[in-house]
Chain A
Amino acid sequence: DVKVTQSSRYLVKRTGEKVFLECVQDMDHENMFWYRQDPGLGLRLIYFSYDVKMKEKGDIPEGYSVSREKKERFSLILESASTNQTSMYLCASRTGVSYGYTFGSGTRLTVV
C-alpha cells in the first residue's frame, strides 16, 4: 500500500515561530499537495508540486511556502506562525497517470 506520512499528528507552536510540516511518500509519486481543513470550509489547497523543485500556489498560499528538494518529500513552511493558521493540515500525493490520491493522516496545528 502507498503510504503518505506526516511527521507530526499534533503540534503546538507560538505566534511568530517558523514552523515546518513534513510529508513523505513512498511510491515515487510525481504530484504532491498541501491542504488545510477548517470546519464548514472543507479542504482548501495551499500549494502543490508536480515535480522536484517545481511548485505552484493553490487557493490560499498567503503566509505559507513550500519546499520539494527530493521527490518523496514535500514540506510546508509557515514563516511566522499566526493564530489564524491554527488548523488541520493534510498532505496528499498522486501519480501522474492515475486518479489515485493518497492522503496522510493529518497534522493538527495549534498556534498560541
Chain B
Amino acid sequence: AQKITQTQPGMFVQEKEAVTLDCTYDTSDPSYGLFWYKQPSSGEMIFLIYQGSYDQQNATEGRYSLNFQKARKSANLVISASQLGDSAMYFCAMREDSGSARQLTFGSGTQLTVLP
C-alpha cells in the first residue's frame, strides 16, 4: 500500500484565492511527522511546513497551514491568498520514527498552477 497518497496530479487556482492540496498517509507507527515541500521549476526542494503526530494544533507558517486530521490520516496543505510565485510542484512526505535514519517517504506530487 502507498504510504503517502496525493490524488491531485494537477491543480489550478486563481491568484488571491485559497487552495487545498490533498494528502493522505498510512502508517502504524504512533510517532511520525508530516511535511510539505515546494519544488519550483528550478528543482530545489523548499521546506514549507511540518506537523508532528502528537501536535495538538494544526501547524501554520505564514500563508501555509496544514489541516491535520489524525483519525482520517490526512494532512492537507492550505495555501491562502495564492500568488503567481506559488506555481510549483508540491510534495507531501512522512517520516516514521521507528526507522533507523528516519527517512522521508514522499507522495507523487501535485503540480499547482496559479492563474493571473
A interface residues with partner B (beta carbon < 8 Å): 30-31, 33, 35, 40-45, 48-50, 56, 58, 88, 90, 92, 94, 99-101, 103, 105-106, 108
Contacts and interface: CB of A to CB of B under 8 A. Distances in A.
Contacts of A48: 101, 103
Contacts, number: 57
Given A40-B9, A99-B50, A31 B106 contact: no
Q: Which of B4, B103, B108, B109 has the most CB of A within 10 A?
A: B103
A40 B101 contact: no
Interface residues of B, number: 25
B104 A42 contact: no
Contacts of B104: 33, 43, 45, 92, 101
Nearest to A90: B45
Contacts of B43: 88, 105-106, 108
B60 interface: no
Nearest to A51: B101
A33 B44 contact: no
Contact of A43 (B44, B47, B91, B100): B91
A35 B4 CA distance: 16
B18 to A, nearest CB: 24
A43 B107 CA distance: 7
Contact of B102 (A58, A94, A103, A108): A94
A17 B91 CA distance: 32
10 contacts: A33-B104, A40-B108, A43-B91, A43-B106, A50-B101, A56-B100, A58-B103, A103-B44, A106-B43, A106-B44
